[in-house]
Structure 1
Amino acid sequence: MVKAWVVANLAIGQTVTLIPHIISLTHIQNTGAAFSILEGQQWVFYIITIIALVVVAVLWRDSRGHLLYRIGLTLIFAGAIGNFIDRIRQQYVTDMFQVDFMNFAIFNVADACLTIGVIAVVIHLIFFDQQAKA
């Protein structure tokens, strides 16, 4: 929904302040990863995403009874699919969220899902995974 609004209403590179000095919307087309790493190397992202989706699906299937782990894996899957669809359709992802109080990559909802999902999985593995502790 935010992405559709940004694409329809902001020119590439245009910025609209949401909360002054905190967050803005900036419309960019990113052919790379965070900070434009591997810019233009779409085939790398296709391969990595397909492998990641298979691994996450297998881990999710075996995650019954571990709510935080399952939520984390679901967010990772959702974020990977979101960016994958953009890359297949457009050869780039649309990024829009710009943190104004620090120098940070402009990102999208899929990136946020991936980040939060990884954090949830790491928290589960560190604090709640009994098999890892045994």
Structure 2
Amino acid sequence: MVVDSGLSDEQIDRVFHALAAATRRDILRRAIQDEHSVSALAGEYDMSFAAVQKHVAVLEAAGLIIKRAEGRERLVRADPVMIARARALLARYEELWRSRIDRLDALLAEPAQGNTDRPGRPGTDTTDPTQGA
């Protein structure tokens, strides 16, 4: 099964890279809830404004947030379209793995073909030949 998300490999790499950092995931969570200025976001973290700006830039490059100017402020909000695309990609990976697990379960549930010498299998003798009758 091929996982086709409509995203290029480069876009997928940027999304996963952006989501790899806890701070960026938290910024995204906040941006999903409401639009925030970068300076307001910077006040929420124990790091410099420039560091928060870099995190926002990574999220923006991944397409997960949209940044717009309003006067002197830069406001960020989540991009629901890209988040939905990333979610769909992860759902496809989950479907792939569930399919593989289902196939493995089915394989393990099949009776062994032509193998009747294992104890506990129907049609096998479970007596110990070293024990006297």
- Range class of TM-score, shorter chain: under 0.3
Relative to the length of structure 2, the TM-score reads: 0.27
Which protein has the bigger strand share?
1
Which protein has the bigger helix share?
1
Using CA pairs under 8 Å that are at least 6 residues apart, name the structure with larger relative contact order, 1 or 2.
1
Question: Greater Rg, structure 1 or structure 2?
Answer: 2
